[in-house]
Structure 1
């Protein structure tokens, strides 16, 4: 799908996430009739794009700009279902089929844009075992997180972001433990 060209907004897509950015810096991004006229077809373009899986907006219809409204919305909605492991087995048939001509097996990291690194020398915890170790370490200090997270000299953050991003640790597992 080819993106339409817009003058007062920018549309970008990355891994199923679309971002619409106001693009009238000379007018301090003030909303104009022209901008409003471009936003509707932009939304229609995104609605027709099956690669864009979700649009995340605040309760008043605007995108989240800071974490607090998202956190507050999540806290209002969280319940036992969201903290349990998700029953994915019954939904496996809904997955899209693999594209034709795809080589079998897991691709080499270089084939998907990664470069050889010195992770072993850096002693970075990798894989599910590394994630488990970091998580167990974080659980011991989770009650102090709010006090230590903003100080680089203190072991405050969880260091779990990369594991949550790549699925070597379950977000539901982390949420379940944090919720207790």
Structure 2
């Protein structure tokens, strides 16, 4: 696994606070959850990859975007419930499906309310394709031709090349 530093001390503290909240809400911390201070990493903002189990849909660590090395593992009884749980949040930046069943993967991924999705991989992106979320995740799209629109001002130009009365105003 490759993992980099957290972008800022403020973000690192926010992630560590989410980890604390997860424990207070009753989620089971299976691994990680701490700032890495050894191996010379004390000069940066590093957090151990963190895994929570025994979570439920109402927990803050399930409902919100943490933007850190934290994953929640949630059980579901069937495909329908998995999609319902995944979509029952206010955010929808990204999602992934891991399965050997290609038809199921396409069926489920089409139902996810997320702006960027993956099947049997996670996180590669292409600059030619739009990047952005659904619901309360992000504003607009970046990358691809969609991303160029943020840097353009669109203008409508109407022209009458037959100079004279247009009939719009009374004489």
Query: TM-score, normalised on structure 2?
Result: 0.20
The structure richer in helix per residue is: 1
| Bigger Rg over Cα | 2
The structure richer in strand per residue is: 2
Query: TM-score, normalised on structure 1?
Result: 0.19
